[in-house]
Amino acid sequence: MPLNLQKNLPAIDLLKEEHIFVMDSSRASTQDIRPLRMVVLNLMPLKITTETDLIRLLSNSPLQIELDFMKIKGHTPKNTPVEHMREFYKDFDEIAGSFYDGLIVTGAPVEQMPFEDVHYWNEITTIFDWARTHITSTLYICWAAQAALHHFYKIPKYGLPAKMFGVFRHTLREPFLPIFRGFDEEFYVPHSRHTEIRREDILKVPELMLLSESEESGVYMVMSRGGREFYITGHSEYSPYTLNDEYIRDADKGLPINVPVNYYRNNDPALGPVVRWRGHANLLFTNWLNYYVYQETPYRIEEIKNINEL
């Protein structure tokens, strides 16, 4: 089934060019199907690019999804038109009383700052806490994963001597969990970050389960609360040219940046990228939606509603 998206969202036309089936809300309203209600807190600078990347993956599920976008109230993005934000994004205040089946919180370009120095830290931690009482399952990506692990479990982050930048091989510690249904024993994930979390800190916390890691890029996926929360340090959602665009951007600015590892054909930017992560990215999002959102929603939504009423 397709995604139910707000009419005129730029991602609709972009994805139709890729023959991905999406439909706007006016058409979806004629179908007698209860869609999953999903919300994305998009903290990335290029909002439209991130919207498109996530919708591309969410659309591969057979489930119908109704998608909202949320923004930080006290932050004005520099790289996205104000008109776009007004039309397609909601402040937390507008949805705080709602219950959603799933939440995705993206990365943000603030990872080298102490968490508490991020000017929207109080607001985003309020959203993290809200998610535990209003969301069936939450997917935290990159900086959001570090931030939520710090907020809930006091997991520290550490600066890296050089940017973790490229496409890295990963292995499974818990291969029989539904989140990994269909995964190979080894799979690839893009990473683009200046900081890391460490396995020894994760393993000290009984409530956390380390699911996947890499010899090169370290911790990749952590789970808590039986799948109510997933913390992912990489960017499985990246399109084929996202790392290329980041590399050119930083090189043009004269920033210290290495060619992304295991990304370009023969390690030559002129030859373009080899996409090694698309299949597992699709499995990741489809498995999350099916096994941790859709199949858990009926009783978990009632459960958290009942808890909130106590």
Respond yes or no: is residue 237 known to be catalytic.
yes
CATH assignment, 3-159+195-239+281-309: 3.40.50.880
Asked whether residue 28 carries a pLDDT value surpassing 50, the answer given is no
Out of 229, 235, 280, 296, the active site residue is 235
Going from N- to C-terminal start, the domains of the chain cover 3-159+195-239+281-309
User: Which is more confident, 201 or 2?
Assistant: 201
Out of 51, 111, 237, 296, the active site residue is 237
Task: Indicate the range of 67-71, 85-89, 163-167 predicted with least confidence.
Answer: 85-89
Out of 51, 66, 111, 142, the active site residue is 142
pLDDT at 60: 82
Reported as a pLDDT band with limits 50, 70 and 90, residue 280 is very high
Note the pLDDT tens digit of each residue in 58-68: 988 888 899 99
Respond yes or no: is residue 75 known to be catalytic.
no
Reported as a pLDDT band with limits 50, 70 and 90, residue 284 is very high
The predicted model gives 223-245 an average pLDDT of 96
Reported as a pLDDT band with limits 50, 70 and 90, residue 195 is very high
Reported as a pLDDT band with limits 50, 70 and 90, residue 80 is confident
Mean pLDDT, rounded, of the chain: 88
pLDDT at 24: 52
pTM: 0.87
Structure tokens given for 181:
């249904």
The residues near 103 (Cβ < 8 Å, ≥ 6 apart) are 38, 39, 40, 41, 131, 135, 137, 138, 139
Reported as a pLDDT band with limits 50, 70 and 90, residue 8 is low
Respond yes or no: is residue 150 known to be catalytic.
no
Task: Indicate the range of 87-91, 95-99, 300-304 predicted with least confidence.
Answer: 300-304
> From residue 177, how far is each of 12, 209, 240 by CA, in Å?
33, 11, 28
Our separate counts of H helices and E strands in the chain read 11, 12
